Amino acid sequence: MTIYESAEDYLERILILSEQMEYVRAIDIVNDMGFSKPSVSIAMKKLQMNNYIEVGEKGHITLTPAGERIAKRIYERHLVLTKILMDLGVPEETAKTDACKIEHDLSDESFEAIKKHINKYNK
């Protein structure tokens, strides 16, 4: 199944928010990402229909194992790519923005090669 960049962004944001707060609600995503309530509501319904998230009775959003795998994969890419760009002298905000663009399109093979290359020099 193909997952769209926007869905990956939502899953990544849910992961990050779940590390910062006891539980995540749609309004937390609205406030954090700056999207409208209807947009977030539609996205959450789609993520739930595709079994990437579960929404409890009180509106608490949790990642399913499939959703968590995707979120962790994207978040790792974001962190690694941001660090690389900053190490190259790119300002932090630009590095974060550019990493977000790259993280979705970079192949697994290229990302693993980048990590291997970094690990070789960080030892």
| pLDDT per residue as tens digits for the range 99-112 | 999 998 999 999 99
Both tokens of 110, joined, read 């290229």
The pLDDT of residue 120 is 81
Q: Tell me the per-residue pLDDT of 65-118, one tens digit each, with 9 for 90 and over.
A: 999 999 999 999 999 999 999 999 999 999 999 999 999 899 999 999 999 988
Based on the fold, state whether residues 48 and 87 are members of the same structural domain.
no
Same structural domain, 22 and 59: yes
pLDDT in the model for residue 2: 62
Q: Is residue 10 located within the same domain as residue 62?
A: yes
Structural domain that includes position 114: 72-122
The domain spanning residue 88 has which CATH number? 1.10.60.10
Higher pLDDT, 3 or 76: 76
Q: Is 21 exposed, middle or buried, given 0-12, 13-18 or 19+ CB atoms closer than 10 A?
A: exposed
- Do both 63 and 100 map to the same domain? no
Tell me the pLDDT tens digit for each residue of 18-53: 999 999 999 999 999 999 999 999 999 999 999 999
Residues 60 and 114 placed together within one structural domain of the fold? no
Residue 56 sits in the same domain as residue 107: no
Quick one: which of 29, 27, 22, 25 has its CA closest to 6? 29
